[in-house]
Structure 1
């Protein structure tokens, strides 16, 4: 296994955020981490890269207990792309991506030609090379997200953790980023809200609810109509797509959603076709 989480729990104050979760992912595979808001996805990612201290359980990278890996070695191995990150410092997109090379340099070392090449390549792979010299504060939300992913790529990790990497991105860049991640050939754990994107790009899916692991397995096993309604509170129809061959989820209007759809539109009354 590349990453193994063994009966891990974490609490913030008296609130249990991650509750006895066990899961694993093989080397070079993509694990999609799904669940409603507040289910513990982001906290679990932070636990895996040791930004949160577990109260019980073990996280392993290969055979190594993550708590015993030196910080510098861990930083060279794991890259985390978080949902939101900001700075008031006047940095260009190239400067931000260059931060990904920090674990590979000594404390007082300057950037090498290899560092510069890694930064240029990372920017190019996320379609941001043309914005390399633009100040961070002037970038759109989607552009900042792509720069953060480029920073992680420049780090050259063997394990990549992404917390909602498609947040703020248009459909084209959502597909491009996840396609890129799927071609990296490294171990990835991706927290997502979009079940269809998870079914398209993830080798394995884990579902969290209220900090507990509800199900884990392939999309065909995990993303059932019963589980989707139970965990996410929506009715759905699941079938294999004739376009890409992966499972596709089509949502139906449930009782709560139907009540909202009965509201008149701006132009007056609207007719709703029942699913």
Structure 2
């Protein structure tokens, strides 16, 4: 399903965090959400999955206004991978991934073959099947992130939101995770800091600054030297990569 954000605003008290944002993500495409710290990226993701309530505007999944969906229906549609998530409960890696199946089962319903298959496939896709029986608390930060992505995949969502999913990951797993996300074939919005990774793996980009969209479109349209200077405050040289064919940013030191 597509995601449509129409003139959405959100405020915390008197402070406006998201201000009149309008964006559309086509079905099966990946939108990279960029912007400096405090630009509203995380807040916008939370508005889409209704962890925050919009002050004005409408968010739709396909033709459905999220305000009209029950919590259960929304949980079956959309998965959210946050930057940080922790628990003191003693859970194995498989236990954590199995939580992704909760929206598809009744409160007391036992796990079925379909649930088990979804869990094992999700573990395989993030290369964590060998750690399935290991306690989640014993994992590194990057390994925990991969497990949370596996949990979201086990959920079998129509829409997937990810807030800085490459945080704590080494270079190999950054590339592996974003390559995986780009090939899922489901509608994704992923907040990123790395402009080069965004250019490599996202179908389109949107740049937020102080809660407003200041640039949106194809990566080659958005990632200009002028935009990078204005929004991120750094000088950069942008050119097409001879390796992957996407735009590549080289930062210029003064």
The bucket for the TM-score relative to the shorter chain is: over 0.9
Q: Equivalent residue for 2:167?
A: 167
CA distance in 1, matches of 2:213, 2:98: 36
Q: Equivalent residue for 1:34?
A: 34
Give 3-state SS (helix, strand or coil) of 1:52's partner.
coil
CA distance in 1, matches of 2:217, 2:61: 20
CA distance in 2, matches of 1:156, 1:65: 20
- What is the number of equivalent residue pairs in this alignment? 254
CA distance in 2, matches of 1:145, 1:51: 20
Displacement after TM superposition at 1:14 (Å): 1.5
Q: Equivalent residue for 1:128?
A: 128
Give 3-state SS (helix, strand or coil) of 1:88's partner.
coil
CA distance in 1, matches of 2:145, 2:175: 14
Displacement after TM superposition at 1:169 (Å): 0.3
CA displacement, residues 102-138 of structure 1 (integer Å, 9 cap, x when unaligned): 0000111111111111111101110111111111111
CA distance in 2, matches of 1:61, 1:98: 25
Displacement after TM superposition at 1:8 (Å): 0.4
Please list every run of at least 4 consecutive aligned residues from structure 1 whose deviation after the TM superposition is greater than 6 angstroms: none
Q: Equivalent residue for 1:91?
A: 91
CA distance in 1, matches of 2:184, 2:203: 14
Q: Equivalent residue for 1:150?
A: 150
2:229 aligned with 1:229: yes
CA distance in 2, matches of 1:107, 1:132: 24
Q: Equivalent residue for 1:48?
A: 48
Give 3-state SS (helix, strand or coil) of 2:72's partner.
helix
2:78 aligned with 1:78: yes
Displacement after TM superposition at 1:232 (Å): 0.3
CA distance in 1, matches of 2:252, 2:99: 44
Displacement after TM superposition at 1:34 (Å): 0.1
CA distance in 2, matches of 1:33, 1:242: 25
CA distance in 2, matches of 1:210, 1:111: 45
Output aligned runs, 1:1-275, within 5 Å: 2-254=2-254
Please list every run of 5 or more consecutive structure 1 residues that lacks an aligned counterpart in the other structure.
Answer: 255-275
TM-score scaled to structure 1, two decimals? Answer: 0.91
Q: CA RMSD in A?
A: 0.8
CA displacement, residues 126-180 of structure 1 (integer Å, 9 cap, x when unaligned): 0111111111111000000000000000000010000001000000000000111
CA distance in 2, matches of 1:48, 1:146: 22
Displacement after TM superposition at 1:71 (Å): 1.2
Mark the structure with the bigger radius of gyration. 1
CA distance in 1, matches of 2:70, 2:173: 35
